[in-house]
Structure 1
Amino acid sequence: MKPADPVLRREPRRELWLLGAVLLIFCLLAATLALPAEEDAFIYYRYAWNWAHGQGLAFNAGDPVEGFSGPLWMGILALVAGAGLDLPRTATLLGLLCGVAALAATWALGRAAGLSRSGRLMAVACVALSYPFIVWSRSGLETPLYSLAIVVTAAAYLAAEYPLARQADRRWPRRIAAVTPIFVCLGRPEGAMLVVVMAADRLLARDRRGALRYGVPAAIGYGGYLVWRLLTFHSLVPNTSVKLYPLLIERSGGQFLDYVLLLGALPLLLPVLALLDRRGTGPERRRLGFLAAVVCLVSFLFNFLAGGDYRPGFRYFIPTLPVLMVAVWCAASLLRPLASPPARALLLALLLSGSMIRLGQNPPRVHDWRREVYEMWRDPATDTNNWGIRIVRWMEGHVPERSVVAFGQMGRVPYYLAHDGHEVRFVDTLGLVDREVARIYRFDGKISDLLRDIRAGRSPREALELGRQRRALRFAGTILGKQPDFVLIEAALNDYPMMRALQENPEFQTTYHQSGQLPLEGLPYVRIYTPVRRRP
């Protein structure tokens, strides 16, 4: 029997060959770009290393603190470490595999959304050639796995609730879409927003059973993890929530605008225009509305709630990039002015323009691939020009076993010291893996203090200043209360209020003195303080 929709016909070999070619290009680009190892990935590696060596899922032995954002990725890397595999090397390979799988899932999402063959391939190409997507797939972080979970869930949901054929069997898509949101929630905390979108979409369709179908399994699955989190880490929220600061509008807004410019600015208006155009059919517009809602809540809204990321690279946006590209090409198929091949070519050029500029600035290394790419991937510790590796080498020669070190970079340095057999305990001055320091930084605590001071009769300006002073004193007292044997302060944090408060603290000035710096000559990137009674 002939299918009712040509999209449902068996895909010709030509399309699959073209899809394979796009995936191959992605792999070649990812394997030939010279990219430094991602600092935050080493936080995962230290947790995994400690777990594999009998110290539990803890950054510092005996002190369980959830200093990672992706529980699912953390579990995978713990198994990698337990199997005796090299963590930096294996994590990047797994990330690339997840990136490839996310691209294949993007093709499936385009199919479920009703895109034509060319539309599906162009959506996949826009993601595969995206410079930030390539970078984060190589990072060793949870980003590509989280993106894969989002795309699979979105594709299964569209196939289950908005099938292209009326007689389609929706049982398996519904089962998949009911289970995969659990993995999205375990991918990153903001993944729960995807479940909200799915449940809200069902409620808008007056399908309460459908809302329960997707909401209940996610609530049970993620709820089980919350119970385990509370019993293990003694907290209902991860310690990484210290990074959330909605008042950083300048940073979050700037990163959002940069992301819009990366994608050519104008293409992101297409889903809005298509949703406003009443000429599209109901199912087409509902599919597009769902895709747009996923992007807006899971990435755009979270970016502003978090105050943006503390570094460039669009980390909060990239997980939903495949969904956004499918939404853009769906919108283009609904708008008549974009039906011509020249208009489609212009749209493709705009979407890829930002990434092509970045690839031009950092082109693939083919001629000197072994030295510039392979050796750094095989063993990041060979990158002796990296400041973190230099600090590791210095600490291996100067920091005694069982020392306590206060430092703000919890990536390469703690991991390689643990990997090389050195027992050193770290106090994280930025709070990501330190519960006491995190309490000082957390946004909810700042708001609570502000409201309490305002109720006490102080003006908002006075309350803000008093809160800053109080937190600075608490920070200095917390760090000094841990009695670190070494305090390493990065030059990049010279103007950071908390670091300045620590250095200006009378107890710190009488107890510690600057005993060195790295590098030993020239402008330092880190200053080393030790107790006055003891010189290294």
Structure 2
Amino acid sequence: MDPPTPPLGAAPRNLRILTFLAALLPLGWLAWKFAFVTDDAFITFRYALNWAEGLGLVYHPGDAPPVEGYSEFLWAILMGVGIRLGVPPDGLSQVLGLTSAVLLLAGWARYASRCIATGPVALVGGALFLGCLPPLAVWSTGGMATMAFCAAVFWLFALTWSKPRGRWGIKVFTVGALVVLLRADGAWWVAWILGPALGGVWAGGDKSRFKTLLSATVALVVVWTLHVAWRYGFYGDWLPNTARAKVGISMRAAERGYNYLMHFMLVFPGVLLAFISLGSARGWRERHLGPVLGVVLGTALHVVLTGGDFMAFGRFLVPALPFVALLLCAGLSGLEEQGSPVAAAGYAFVCCGLVLPAAFDRDIFPARWRTAFGFRHNTPQAMERSEWGQWFRMREQASEWADMGRALEYLADPGDSVVYGAVGGLGYYSGLRVYDRNGLVTREVALRAPLPQATSPGHDKTVPPEFFSRYHPTILDGVWFPGGLGALRLYREKNPGVLREGLKPQDLVGWDLNPRPDQVLLLEYREEK
């Protein structure tokens, strides 16, 4: 369990700084290129807003029991604190995401230079690969806790498998608590990190260290138990509603999760090449490569069990990517130690070259290969869409739905309600009661049986607008249509049935803040208004 000792030693300070910069510069550029806030982030923002206003951590104030339609408890609290201080959550989330990315890279450079390699090619090559991974850049913003969670997972691993310094047990507990509370499934990664560590310390006979680590682990179990108990007491369920809304652990989920993994490898084959580099790695025990590999495999297993995620650039696999970069660093170090620094440098550049094209909407392999492992079953277009295309669509839709929420705030009367499938920006900006067709914030949809046909992750139980008729919702559907009324008539003539017949143009002439004056807002009211 002890960290590597000389001759590995620790890399010089200047090399550690260079390692950090080798990751920071490409990641910073890519993060700027992909900066956005996804619609799902606004679901958490609405919970945070209500909490900040003293209404509780709820989507609909007054519901009894309320529904836990978010998966990032601590993130919601942080956003709520920001709102109380007058900081908009969309901006705060991006600042915290980027800060988390910097902390991740700093931790990676520190750990890699102390425990994985000391050679410049291995360290800089591994760091460059880490910084060139588009998924890390995309989810350094995005508005969700993905990068904060990723950084917390890595720091928990680095602290656990490094030489104890200072109040080591308290540090492990503190970072572990962040992992547990940042995501509803965070305990999964805590188990994959602390479980092997406890076994290693016990086998090594270090009773003092085992006792400290066991105490931290027990304390984390208590934190997790208290949070679950609070969830049950406040929301009336042991699981968040976001988990209920999915298909659950099943062969169907496993098949979709497997496709998710294969699709990711075909889009980013450099990740697979990083694994292959392990063939040249040396000192598996001293470098703790087994536990590193364990976190990667544990994350992959989580993806298979949960059935993946519909969002762009493999969001569910992001926590594994810093560990993949460590494996590559170890492989490059082996080549460097064998007297082949040029080969190591070439290998690192090839790995980078096999992950970057996706950031520019380019495929390494024929597009039909990844389509064969499609997992977004909404439409044929979704199955064929590239990861860049999915990101672009998510960015545009988030903007459209936020603008629709602002329009509904202008148009709607007190007590109005709306049925919709995307409840983030629309719900946050409108403040209306929203009946969620996908069930994230509507329990009765989440508790239904999954649809019989293949579905996209997170859309396993979608219901039509008419499902909510007994609640007499005011608005059944809505969409922004590009162009004027003439273009709308022509479109309906050429594409009959695509737009619901009840969707009617709305008068926004008096709205000075209309963000889309060149588009027509179509709303379908339950009855003419």
Provide the TM-score with structure 2 as the length reference.
0.74
Residue 189 and residue 51 in structure 1: after superposition, are their counterparts in 2 closer, same or farther (change >3 A)?
A: closer
Alpha-carbon shift at residue 123 of structure 1 (Å): 2.5
Equivalent position amino acid for 2:416 in 1: S
Equivalent position of 1:356 in the other structure: 356
Given the alignment, which residue of 484, 487, 490 partners 2:476? 487
Equivalent position of 1:434 in the other structure: 442
- 1:221 partnered with 2:223: yes
Alpha-carbon shift at residue 215 of structure 1 (Å): 2.6
Given the alignment, which residue of 405, 414, 425 partners 1:401? 414
Residue 173 and residue 385 in structure 1: after superposition, are their counterparts in 2 closer, same or farther (change >3 A)?
A: closer
Cα distance in 2 for partners of 1:336, 1:519 equals 68
Cα distance in 2 for partners of 1:359, 1:347 equals 20
Using the TM superposition, name which of 96-105 and 473-482 deviates more: 473-482
Describe the SS at the equivalent of 2:351.
helix
Given the alignment, which residue of 179, 186, 209 partners 1:184? 179
Residue 383 and residue 325 in structure 1: after superposition, are their counterparts in 2 closer, same or farther (change >3 A)?
A: closer
Alpha-carbon shift at residue 294 of structure 1 (Å): 0.9
Describe the SS at the equivalent of 1:75.
helix
Equivalent position amino acid for 1:290 in 2: P
Q: Pairwise mapping of residues 13-412 of structure 1 onto structure 2 (< 5 A)?
A: 13-17=14-18, 19-20=20-21, 22-31=23-32, 33=33, 35-63=35-63, 64-118=66-120, 119-160=122-163, 172-202=167-197, 204-205=199-200, 207=202, 210=210, 212-241=214-243, 242-245=245-248, 246=250, 247-261=252-266, 262-264=268-270, 266-270=272-276, 273=279, 280-281=282-283, 283-284=285-286, 287-297=288-298, 299-334=299-334, 340-361=340-361, 386-412=399-425
Equivalent position amino acid for 1:347 in 2: Y
**CA deviation vs aligned residue, 1:256-286 (integer Å, no higher than 9, x gap):** 12322314254243376468xxxx546236x
Assess if the C-alpha contact under 8 Å between 2:67 and 2:443 holds in 1.
yes
Assess if the C-alpha contact under 8 Å between 2:335 and 2:341 holds in 1.
no
Question: Percent same amino acid at aligned positions?
Answer: 23
Describe the SS at the equivalent of 1:405.
strand
Assess if the C-alpha contact under 8 Å between 1:271 and 1:288 holds in 2.
no
Cα distance in 1 for partners of 2:234, 2:444 equals 16
Alpha-carbon shift at residue 43 of structure 1 (Å): 1.1
Residue 13 and residue 37 in structure 1: after superposition, are their counterparts in 2 closer, same or farther (change >3 A)?
A: same
Residue 214 and residue 310 in structure 1: after superposition, are their counterparts in 2 closer, same or farther (change >3 A)?
A: same
Alpha-carbon shift at residue 147 of structure 1 (Å): 0.6
Cα distance in 2 for partners of 1:110, 1:316 equals 23
Higher helix share: 1
Equivalent position of 2:387 in the other structure: none
Alpha-carbon shift at residue 149 of structure 1 (Å): 0.4
What is the number of equivalent residue pairs in this alignment?
445
- 1:535 partnered with 2:524: no
Residue 525 and residue 274 in structure 1: after superposition, are their counterparts in 2 closer, same or farther (change >3 A)?
A: farther
Assess if the C-alpha contact under 8 Å between 1:42 and 1:411 holds in 2.
yes
Cα distance in 2 for partners of 1:310, 1:22 equals 27
Equivalent position amino acid for 1:327 in 2: L
Q: Pairwise mapping of residues 437-476 of structure 1 onto structure 2 (< 5 A)?
A: 437-441=445-449
Given the alignment, which residue of 427, 430, 437 partners 1:417? 430
Describe the SS at the equivalent of 1:139.
coil
Alpha-carbon shift at residue 20 of structure 1 (Å): 3.8
**CA deviation vs aligned residue, 1:359-418 (integer Å, no higher than 9, x gap):** 4449xxxxxxxxxxxxxxxxxxx9899432442354234322221211110111111223
Assess if the C-alpha contact under 8 Å between 1:132 and 1:355 holds in 2.
no
Using the TM superposition, name which of 324-333 and 150-159 deviates more: 324-333
Alpha-carbon shift at residue 35 of structure 1 (Å): 4.2
Alpha-carbon shift at residue 51 of structure 1 (Å): 1.6
Residue 35 and residue 95 in structure 1: after superposition, are their counterparts in 2 closer, same or farther (change >3 A)?
A: closer
Alpha-carbon shift at residue 327 of structure 1 (Å): 2.0
Cα distance in 2 for partners of 1:100, 1:138 equals 12
Assess if the C-alpha contact under 8 Å between 1:240 and 1:432 holds in 2.
yes
Equivalent position amino acid for 1:264 in 2: G
Cα distance in 1 for partners of 2:165, 2:402 equals 53
Residue 188 and residue 393 in structure 1: after superposition, are their counterparts in 2 closer, same or farther (change >3 A)?
A: closer
Describe the SS at the equivalent of 2:39.
coil
Given the alignment, which residue of 501, 504, 524 partners 1:516? 504
**CA deviation vs aligned residue, 1:107-126 (integer Å, no higher than 9, x gap):** 12213433224233333322
Equivalent position of 1:374 in the other structure: none
Alignment RMSD: 3.6
**CA deviation vs aligned residue, 1:57-80 (integer Å, no higher than 9, x gap):** 111112332111111211111111
Residue 114 and residue 37 in structure 1: after superposition, are their counterparts in 2 closer, same or farther (change >3 A)?
A: closer
Residue 149 and residue 62 in structure 1: after superposition, are their counterparts in 2 closer, same or farther (change >3 A)?
A: same
Describe the SS at the equivalent of 1:514.
coil
Cα distance in 1 for partners of 2:272, 2:397 equals 43
Alpha-carbon shift at residue 476 of structure 1 (Å): 7.6
Equivalent position of 1:166 in the other structure: none
Assess if the C-alpha contact under 8 Å between 1:92 and 1:140 holds in 2.
yes
Equivalent position amino acid for 2:181 in 1: L
Cα distance in 2 for partners of 1:30, 1:124 equals 16
Cα distance in 1 for partners of 2:461, 2:87 equals 42
Provide the TM-score with structure 1 as the length reference.
0.73
Equivalent position of 2:373 in the other structure: none
Structure 2's unaligned 5+ residue stretches are: 363-394, 454-459, 481-499, 509-518
**CA deviation vs aligned residue, 1:396-448 (integer Å, no higher than 9, x gap):** 34322221211110111111223xxxxx111111011112211115x6xx9xx
Equivalent position amino acid for 2:191 in 1: V
Assess if the C-alpha contact under 8 Å between 1:136 and 1:143 holds in 2.
yes
Cα distance in 2 for partners of 1:473, 1:170 equals 51
Residue 284 and residue 359 in structure 1: after superposition, are their counterparts in 2 closer, same or farther (change >3 A)?
A: same
Cα distance in 2 for partners of 1:357, 1:153 equals 31
Alpha-carbon shift at residue 103 of structure 1 (Å): 0.9
Equivalent position amino acid for 1:535 in 2: E
Residue 388 and residue 153 in structure 1: after superposition, are their counterparts in 2 closer, same or farther (change >3 A)?
A: same
Assess if the C-alpha contact under 8 Å between 1:49 and 1:81 holds in 2.
yes
Residue 197 and residue 339 in structure 1: after superposition, are their counterparts in 2 closer, same or farther (change >3 A)?
A: farther
Alpha-carbon shift at residue 488 of structure 1 (Å): 1.5
